Structure 1
Amino acid sequence: MNRIGCIFIGLFAALIAAAMALVDFGGSGAARPRRAAPVTVERTAVPDGMLTLPVQGVAWREIAHSWGDLRGGGMRRHTGTDIMAPRGTPVIAAAPGSVEKLFFSRGGGGITLYVRSPDRRLSYYYAHLDGYAAGMREGIAVRAGQVLGYVGDTGNAGRGNTHLHFGIERLMPGEPWHRGRSIDPYPLLAHGRPQG
């Protein structure tokens, strides 16, 4: 065989190997999930570090930046900040506003609470709560630092994985509480100031 024939056979074998690497022959028995699209970060008018850390007694250094991490087997991106704490730790308002919605989602955030900013442009999302603070109801005004509820593991948090999922969404004034565009809350939280 001449030199060109050897090169041709080598290229053909490499092409076959590359094609086979892209094909799943079902050896694992599980379908590969499609990966979630990247998260687009919205700019926000809230200056960095102007929000209160929403879990009492937790310091800035104790939270991790998990925005955009893959969740649900790679099917979705994380659009919030998880703040780990023991069950029953008070969850406090990160900013003033009014309680827009008390909601339960079995497969999502579990026991949740949404606070709408006074200008109605932001919604603060508190999820996986163990319960609400006494007297908490839709429509009431809350101040930054006010107890809203308590850390839990409801919804898709996973049993024993007690934490607060804190999210922020940008809204147009007429948009409902669940139609916003996610903003990364991590850089907006009060750096280094534990609450409580």
Structure 2
Amino acid sequence: MRLAQLIVLGLVMGVAAGWWLQRDGAPSDDTGARPLAVAQTSAAADSARAVPVEQATTAIAAPAPAATGDTPSGLLLPVQGITPSQLQDTFTDARSEGRVHDAIDIMAAAGTPVLAVADGHVEKLFDSERGGLTVYQFEPSGRWCYYYAHLQRYADGLAEKQTIKRGDVIGYVGSTGNANPEAPHLHFEVHVLGPEKQWWKGESINPYPLLKKGD
């Protein structure tokens, strides 16, 4: 009986010793598993980051230009006494700080009346550092905004949300803002409005060919 117990005890000790030897001698799974897990996690993170980057790229993509023919027509030349033949296309002229001139400058004597180019309403009257005294006009459909800048003063009684008609005097040529006092002029822009209809936003289009077709 005692002999049988000794044999069983010996077998148990042998199995235990073999298990300890195998544990101590075998390479740890953790040392190999961790880099793999990190690599998989990193790859998954990179993949997850890739989607927002693509989405962001799409979100900040430049808006498509206005469709051909999607421009206002029948605009009145906005400076009294100036003819289409006197206009110069200054739309892409370079400006300070790397800016591009998104407008046409119409040279005229200070105090010359500035006229509304179309029917619409005064969306905003604003005195800015660069533009000086300015008028933002929306036309009735809300598709286009007309911007008049460097005004000497506004027409008497002009107010925001006021309805104006093509040819109405809205102000007078000046050199307020960053304009050269020795070269008074009207800075005039045309914007294609987005769905938000915000007066400080919009895609600029060249006013020169539009005014050349006017009266």
Report the equivalent of 2:162. 140
Give 1:28's aligned residue.
none
Alpha-carbon shift at residue 190 of structure 1 (Å)? 4.7
Higher helix share: 2
1:104-145 deviation digits (Å, cap 9, x = unpaired): 012x11100010011111110000000000110000011111
Q: Is 1:162 the equivalent of 2:146?
A: no
- Aligned counterpart, 2:30: none
| Aligned twin of 2:70 | 45
Q: Secondary structure at the match of 2:178?
A: helix
> How many pairs does the alignment contain?
151
Q: Judging by fraction of residues, say which structure has more strand.
A: 1
Gap change, CA 1:47 and 1:170, over 3 Å in 2: closer
> Shift of residue 158 of structure 1?
1.5
Q: Name stretches of at least 5 consecutive residues in structure 2 with no aligned partner.
A: 1-63
Could you report, residue by residue, the CA deviation over 1:48-107 in whole angstroms, capped at 9, with x for unpaired residues? 5x100000000111110011110116x11000110000000000001111000000012x
- Contact 1:59–1:192 under 8 Å retained in 2: no
Give the one of 76, 79, 90 matched to 2:113: 90
Contact 2:102/2:189, CA 8 A, preserved across alignment: yes
Which amino acid in 1 is paired with 2:185?
H
Larger relative contact order (Cα-Cα within 8 Å, sequence gap ≥ 6)? 1
Q: CA deviation at 1:192?
A: 6.7
Bigger CA radius of gyration? 2
Contact 1:92–1:149 (8 Å) recurs in 2: yes
TM-score (norm 2): 0.66
Q: Percent sequence identity over matched residues?
A: 46
Runs of 5+ unmatched residues, structure 1: 1-39
RMSD: 1.8
